[in-house]
Structure 1
Amino acid sequence: MTQKISLSVIAVLLSFVGFAQQVDYELYTMDNGLDVILHQDNSAPVVTVGVMYHVGAKDEVEGRTGFAHFFEHLLFEGTENIERGEWFDIVSANGGQNNANTTFDRTYYYETFPSNNLELGLWMESERMFHPVINKIGVDTQNEVVKEEKRTRVDNAPYGKIIYSTGINPYLFEKHPYKGSVIGTMADLDAAELDEFLDFFDKFYGPNNATLVIAGDIDLEETKVLANKYFSEIPKGPEVERVKIEEDPIEETIVATEYDDNIQIPAKIFVYRTPGMGERDTYVLDMISSILTDGKSSRMYKRLVDDEKIALQVLALNRTQEDYGTYVMGGLAMGDTDLSEIAASVDDEIEKLKAELISEREYEKLQNKFENRYVSSNSSIQGIASSLATYHVLFDDVDLINKEIEIYRSITREEIKEVANKYLNASSRLDLDYLPTPNDQ
């Protein structure tokens, strides 16, 4: 009888496994265009099988937003060989866990199993790619699920327009699909016909637009045989055309006000449009965001919250995406503090960063923080699998999993000052007052 090992036990085992800085992997491509990444780590009996499709909200057409995120839900409905509603039961009955997530740029599905269920994970993901059942009952069911998610996580969430960018991106992007939101609009989903969902799947869910990642307690040669068994016969899909859409520079301050029914504390928000993934300036901006707004030791927290006591909390959301990123910073007003006071203090801290090199001590602390972040992101098999797929699909460089920390290590204090002057300018940002909805509205 085959023994099943629960993931709770495996998690305990993994907590005692040290992380080797070098992540070894093998990358190859099947004849149908499916890229496959293998990572062997036999330190614990666990394996993650994931598939990342290079399709996200930016690939949708006007009037049909939300399709990419909708498919994240729809493709758990069932397949020709997995009955509707049985997907999660199969995973849990075999000691596993699974999930999926969608961004503007990609959609990722994965299962983590005890390693003796590797073949099960491969079969399930091949079923999702080759034999999904996309019908009216599934579309109608998931339509209601997505509506509830939108109500809970976006519409009724405090500061939801900031967290999910629906109150930010329309100001920063005029041409690019980033001006929308990942979850889309319910009106677009309601208006879509079944044939449109089928067409979306056919266009984007072919093996040549996907990367299969298998990480954990595997034998490389045996795993290649199994991957070939379940995926090699899936027909190649149409080539996905990528259209690069460039935004015009922001040359004067965008001043705006947004209201939120779910808050009582106003916030001052500054948002900057930043470069896309892989550009060196993006890495420098990661460090800048850490200096200014990352945690209680950051400059803005110490000044606005601890010293001046004009803010209850500082906000920081550094979103890096394939084509462009956004850096959101700001503060929640303390008591009757005028938002202009928060703006003045934030601007003063920005100007200090632009005028003076950070200290050697602050620089050393910053490097340690990024070293720890790097180790943490690759300290589990799930994390490694996700990183390998992401670096391949969005950066076209799997080896960044090993090289990226060297990029951060190479960033100088002078470079931090230079990039702050390049991007953190009042004339090229959104200046947003985020307010409770007045009682008369």
Structure 2
Amino acid sequence: MRFAPLVAIAALTAVATPVLALTPPTASAQAAAPALRAAPVSELVREVDIPYTKFTLPNGLTVLVHEDHKAPVVAVSVWYNVGSKDEPAGKTGFAHLFEHLMFGGSENAPGSYFTPMRNMGATDMNGTTWFDRTNYFETVPTPALEQALFLESDRMGYMLGAISQETLDLQRGVVQNEKRQGDNQPYGLFEYAQLEALFPEGHPYRHSTIGSMADLDAASMQTVRDWFRSNYGPNNSILVLAGDITPEKARELTQKYFGPIPAGPVNNPAQAAVPTLPAPVRQTMHDRVSNTRINISWAVPGLTDPDLVPLSVGASVLGGLASSRLDNELVRGDQTAVAVSSSVSDFQRVSIFDIQADVKPGEDPAAVEQRILGILNGLIANGPTQDEINRVATQYVAARIKGLEQVGGFGGKAVALAEGQLYAGDPEFYKKTLAAYASVTPAQVQAALQKWLTRPSFTAVTLPGEREAYVEAAAAPSGANHTPAPPIERVARMAKPEIGQVANIDFPAVQRAELVNGTEVIYAQRAAVPTTKIAVEFDAGLAADTPSKLGLQSLMLDLMDEGTRTLNATQLAEAQEALGARISTGASMDRSVISLDALSPNLDASVALLADVIRRPALAPAELERLRATRLAQIAAERTQPAALANRALPELIYGAASPYGRPFSGNGDEASIRSITEADIRAEYAKWIRPDSAKIFVVSDKPLAEILPVLNAQLGQWVPPASAKPVKDFSAPIPATTARIVLIDRPQSPQSYILGGEVLAASGTDDLLVLNAANNVLGNDFLSRINSDLRETKGWSYGVNASVAGFRNRVPYLVTAPVQADQTGPAIAALNTQFNDFLKGGKGVTPDELQRTINGNTRRLAGSYETSGAVLSALRSNDLLGRPDNYPETVAARTNALTTAQLDAAAKAAIDPSRFVWVVVGDASVVKPQLDALGIPVEVRAAATQ
């Protein structure tokens, strides 16, 4: 992607940018509102470009190539023009099931594709399925490109011979567990109701991409083969290569690896009209939720329709912006809702316009619904203002610019080109969309809203209560009982190419400086896009809370960006939107942070806003009361969510209540504490922890440090530390010794159990944990780890299992997460213990193959790991937190290459002791407890409401 030189944009800004006049909220404001000058959206849009070369192989494969040599990596992205909308009746979920099967190995690359991908150091590797497409993508070091192309071409042209009945049954089980995992969440069944209400019988978008349990059960080997042969030929595919490659080399390699694959049948993706409901439809649902939720939905046109951008802009004005009308009226205004949103989910043929509101406890849902409709009707009747449209457009363009820093992944340059080609037949469709956002008028938005949102809607109201019956999978899949399909005749192919020498990462040079008040600045330059990311960190974090005031630090941080002494909450949100900037506050266990993500042409004004939030937060009593109500609703919601329930319970069980780490990892605290917090508490917390001598400023920008420092000094350099001594957190409380036990949190009607277990290690985050983490790649923290391979890839009981060492500064926990189907909860814990004990005590330590895979993966992936400015910023912050040198990423390869199996085994055995694991299980006690009792581990049952 190319941008005009920064100086040209800056010069343009100086003479042609609008000035945002923001009136201070009170006449007694102590400082003038920051002067905000924003670069015009039209000029920003004009500079976005992704140069590409396009060609088509004789077999019909469309290839798009974007040359970008900023890093020695290439994004490989393969898009198949088939999704769930193309599934016939009785075969729902097939496209997504096949996505899983295509990771299971091909005829000339047997076994999981994660093995060679991990070995080559792939990053951003995944596959996704949606209504309109299936795609596979990975970013690989340039010397691994040929092997990646071999693998992608092998599963395109040489796939079926590798799919056995065992593989089909296993991946069927994994997909069904993925479905259970989504369905098990609060409001997890709404999507099914929404699709069935909006789209009539036989409509391609009526069923969900995940499919039904019954159809997945019925998938036979022959139907799977027929599905593949009909849809996955090269003439139904798009290949995008973006990064360190030339078009000439791309043509040579794609012809070599994909050229021999014969074309498949001509594919005609399903057409679909936008349906209109004959009359309004209402449905009342019940779920184990804490808040009543209102959803109002319409089917609207697909993403190539000229009305889509006006509809999307209207949705943002209504409920997408932080300063949206619904937010201002229902959340900040009468405070009858704790959360609102409005958005358009866009697909190729149709889209869905959805309004959502979580009703504040104690409020009347019917009254809130009427307020929503009144606000919507006002927008339809009068249209948006030009200022609202400008802010929506700026936010959209800013997000697009920032996202295009990546060559691949979920939203980088390869995705932009592929989506345009697939959905619109034009790789530059993204330019048309940007231009539409830059030029859309209030009249166009109003006309689109009038045309589409005055039709009958579907309204769903989800009430707290007992969930409706859940349809489970059959005890045995019927598709496994069909007549065995005949064997596939395999076609001889070239050998898999080897991977060339991958150079060590060249991490950006880190520069350090100080503001005039002594605050340290840690800086690195990344010039791919005109953006600047700043994180101002304070040595506080969730660990700064006292036991009697849990949640105080995070509540104070939430309050800081809800208005300053010069701008109220709405004005602050509007100012950020106008600049394409985003200011956010948050906390890890050890640090509190106020962050800025800005467009560099608007940097001065954006930093002025950041400084206003840091130095002059209003901490207004009215906003405190609003956020208090929202926080209480969040805590109530946590008590309905499987993962949140487990993360509320486990910290105290392993750390003890006296430890700064022994509290819910969310940082939300508990009801009694939140209710007790006063305005004086908030102001005292701010004065104690948010001070310049406890701060460090981390910056990654396309601008040089010499241009950044004056901007920071102008806004933060005169900030004077208070006379009081800096506060220090107290970690002196002893951490209790633990023994194996299970705490079962009863969550009835759960089709899946959420398992979270672990212990506190003797190590701290500032220790050198490289060897331990490498060993744990083999044991728990990798797709190919022992525990994930067992529970997902062998047994099919889970969608994914992980064990990792958390990145705390002081004593670190080792945490195991395993969502499993409810009827295998006890056996899953037994299987986990077996894997841990075999590895640590049973003589089944790291094998030579596992060692080599770990070394290759952990070294070759380094270049792709720091491709973006966000990743570089994260590295700067974690290096500082954990006491690592600035060039730490460059030291990893040499140290990793020297590892031995004995070192890895010793590190794991010295650190991890499964006999000390405390297990928290969130599930249906009536189903799960007998399984847990059979393990011979003490079991305690708790109610979800007490956690």
Amino acid of the structure 2 residue aligned with 1:359: T
Count of matched residue pairs: 418
1:422 has 2:451 as partner: yes
Equivalent position SS for 1:179? coil
Residue in 2 aligned with 1:273? 299
Residue in 2 aligned with 1:9? none
The farther-off stretch of 275-284 and 393-402 is: 393-402
Q: Does the 8 Å CA contact 1:23/1:402 hold for their aligned counterparts?
A: no
Q: Does the 8 Å CA contact 1:211/1:389 hold for their aligned counterparts?
A: yes
> What stretches of structure 1 of length at least 5 have no aligned partner?
1-18
Q: Does the 8 Å CA contact 2:317/2:384 hold for their aligned counterparts?
A: no
Once residues 240 and 362 of structure 1 are traced to their aligned partners in structure 2, the CA distance between those partners, rounded to angstroms, is 42
The alpha-carbon deviation at position 373 of structure 1 amounts to 2.2
The alpha-carbon deviation at position 376 of structure 1 amounts to 2.6
**Offset from partner CA, 1:231-252 (integer Å, 9 cap, x none):** 0110110111344243542242
Equivalent position SS for 1:404? helix
Residue in 1 aligned with 2:415? 386
Q: Does the 8 Å CA contact 2:80/2:236 hold for their aligned counterparts?
A: yes
Q: Does the 8 Å CA contact 2:275/2:299 hold for their aligned counterparts?
A: no
Equivalent position SS for 1:181? coil
2:189 to 141, 161, 169: 161
The alpha-carbon deviation at position 355 of structure 1 amounts to 2.1
**Offset from partner CA, 1:295-353 (integer Å, 9 cap, x none):** 43111112111111111111334211111110111211101212111111111111221
- Rate the CA distance shift 1:187–1:168 in 2: closer, same or farther, 3 A: same
- Rate the CA distance shift 1:77–1:438 in 2: closer, same or farther, 3 A: closer
Residue in 2 aligned with 1:304? 330
1:145 to 167, 174, 179: 174
Residue in 2 aligned with 1:182? 209
Equivalent position SS for 1:104? coil
2:459 to 425, 428, 431: 431
- Rate the CA distance shift 1:243–1:56 in 2: closer, same or farther, 3 A: closer
1:339 to 365, 370, 382: 365
Residue in 2 aligned with 1:199? 226
TM (normalized to structure 1)? 0.91
Equivalent position SS for 1:178? coil
Once residues 48 and 244 of structure 2 are traced to their aligned partners in structure 1, the CA distance between those partners, rounded to angstroms, is 18
Once residues 417 and 101 of structure 2 are traced to their aligned partners in structure 1, the CA distance between those partners, rounded to angstroms, is 25
Q: Does the 8 Å CA contact 2:198/2:275 hold for their aligned counterparts?
A: no
* 1:21-32 correspondence to structure 2 within 5 Å: 21-32=48-59
1:259 has 2:286 as partner: yes
* 1:3-14 correspondence to structure 2 within 5 Å: none
Q: Does the 8 Å CA contact 1:134/1:198 hold for their aligned counterparts?
A: no
TM (normalized to structure 2)? 0.43
Once residues 390 and 321 of structure 2 are traced to their aligned partners in structure 1, the CA distance between those partners, rounded to angstroms, is 16
Residue in 1 aligned with 2:399? 373
The alpha-carbon deviation at position 58 of structure 1 amounts to 0.9
1:34 has 2:82 as partner: no
Amino acid of the structure 1 residue aligned with 2:164: N
The farther-off stretch of 350-359 and 224-233 is: 350-359
Which structure: larger Rg?
2
Residue in 1 aligned with 2:561? none
Equivalent position SS for 1:387? helix
The alpha-carbon deviation at position 387 of structure 1 amounts to 1.5
Equivalent position SS for 1:146? helix
Q: Does the 8 Å CA contact 1:215/1:384 hold for their aligned counterparts?
A: yes
**Offset from partner CA, 1:123-170 (integer Å, 9 cap, x none):** 1100110112222111011011111101111x20112234xx212010
Residue in 1 aligned with 2:341? 315
**Offset from partner CA, 1:37-59 (integer Å, 9 cap, x none):** 11111122111111100000011
Equivalent position SS for 2:322? coil
Once residues 308 and 127 of structure 2 are traced to their aligned partners in structure 1, the CA distance between those partners, rounded to angstroms, is 26
Once residues 251 and 54 of structure 1 are traced to their aligned partners in structure 2, the CA distance between those partners, rounded to angstroms, is 32
Residue in 2 aligned with 1:82? 109
Once residues 332 and 255 of structure 1 are traced to their aligned partners in structure 2, the CA distance between those partners, rounded to angstroms, is 17
**Offset from partner CA, 1:25-78 (integer Å, 9 cap, x none):** 111111111111111111221111111000000111111110000011110101
Once residues 58 and 68 of structure 2 are traced to their aligned partners in structure 1, the CA distance between those partners, rounded to angstroms, is 27
The alpha-carbon deviation at position 121 of structure 1 amounts to 1.5
Residue in 2 aligned with 1:102? 129
Residue in 2 aligned with 1:16? none
1:91 has 2:117 as partner: yes
Q: Does the 8 Å CA contact 1:269/1:432 hold for their aligned counterparts?
A: yes
Amino acid of the structure 1 residue aligned with 2:316: S
Residue in 2 aligned with 1:412? 441
Once residues 325 and 282 of structure 1 are traced to their aligned partners in structure 2, the CA distance between those partners, rounded to angstroms, is 8
Once residues 276 and 65 of structure 2 are traced to their aligned partners in structure 1, the CA distance between those partners, rounded to angstroms, is 41
Q: Does the 8 Å CA contact 1:300/1:314 hold for their aligned counterparts?
A: yes
Q: Does the 8 Å CA contact 1:23/1:401 hold for their aligned counterparts?
A: no
Once residues 241 and 276 of structure 2 are traced to their aligned partners in structure 1, the CA distance between those partners, rounded to angstroms, is 41
The farther-off stretch of 226-235 and 119-128 is: 119-128
Amino acid of the structure 2 residue aligned with 1:36: V
1:135 has 2:169 as partner: no
The alpha-carbon deviation at position 413 of structure 1 amounts to 1.1
Residue in 2 aligned with 1:215? 242
Once residues 103 and 113 of structure 1 are traced to their aligned partners in structure 2, the CA distance between those partners, rounded to angstroms, is 24
Once residues 99 and 368 of structure 1 are traced to their aligned partners in structure 2, the CA distance between those partners, rounded to angstroms, is 30
Q: Does the 8 Å CA contact 2:284/2:460 hold for their aligned counterparts?
A: yes
**Offset from partner CA, 1:91-147 (integer Å, 9 cap, x none):** 122221210000011000011111222212211100110112222111011011111
2:253 to 208, 212, 226: 226
Once residues 365 and 247 of structure 2 are traced to their aligned partners in structure 1, the CA distance between those partners, rounded to angstroms, is 58
2:426 to 369, 393, 397: 397
Q: Does the 8 Å CA contact 1:167/1:258 hold for their aligned counterparts?
A: no
- Rate the CA distance shift 1:381–1:440 in 2: closer, same or farther, 3 A: closer
Give the structure, 1 or 2, with the largest relative contact order (CA under 8 Å, sep 6 or more).
1
**Offset from partner CA, 1:231-276 (integer Å, 9 cap, x none):** 011011011134424354224211222222x412111110011101
The alpha-carbon deviation at position 283 of structure 1 amounts to 0.9
Amino acid of the structure 2 residue aligned with 1:95: G
Q: Does the 8 Å CA contact 2:314/2:445 hold for their aligned counterparts?
A: yes
Q: Does the 8 Å CA contact 1:283/1:407 hold for their aligned counterparts?
A: yes
Residue in 2 aligned with 1:170? 196
Amino acid of the structure 2 residue aligned with 1:182: T
Amino acid of the structure 1 residue aligned with 2:189: K
Q: Does the 8 Å CA contact 1:65/1:188 hold for their aligned counterparts?
A: yes
- Rate the CA distance shift 1:146–1:296 in 2: closer, same or farther, 3 A: same
Once residues 134 and 26 of structure 1 are traced to their aligned partners in structure 2, the CA distance between those partners, rounded to angstroms, is 35
Equivalent position SS for 1:278? coil
**Offset from partner CA, 1:361-397 (integer Å, 9 cap, x none):** 2232222112112213322101111121111111211
Once residues 243 and 380 of structure 1 are traced to their aligned partners in structure 2, the CA distance between those partners, rounded to angstroms, is 32
Once residues 182 and 109 of structure 1 are traced to their aligned partners in structure 2, the CA distance between those partners, rounded to angstroms, is 16
Once residues 318 and 299 of structure 1 are traced to their aligned partners in structure 2, the CA distance between those partners, rounded to angstroms, is 16
RMSD of aligned alpha carbons: 1.9
Amino acid of the structure 2 residue aligned with 1:292: L
Equivalent position SS for 1:370? helix
Once residues 439 and 102 of structure 1 are traced to their aligned partners in structure 2, the CA distance between those partners, rounded to angstroms, is 28
- List, as ranges, runs of 4+ consecutive aligned residues in structure 1 with deviation greater than 6 Å: none
Q: Does the 8 Å CA contact 2:140/2:148 hold for their aligned counterparts?
A: yes
- Rate the CA distance shift 1:404–1:367 in 2: closer, same or farther, 3 A: same
Once residues 459 and 258 of structure 2 are traced to their aligned partners in structure 1, the CA distance between those partners, rounded to angstroms, is 49
Once residues 392 and 321 of structure 2 are traced to their aligned partners in structure 1, the CA distance between those partners, rounded to angstroms, is 12
Once residues 394 and 323 of structure 1 are traced to their aligned partners in structure 2, the CA distance between those partners, rounded to angstroms, is 9
Residue identity over aligned pairs, in percent, reads 32
Once residues 437 and 396 of structure 1 are traced to their aligned partners in structure 2, the CA distance between those partners, rounded to angstroms, is 47
Residue in 1 aligned with 2:146? 119
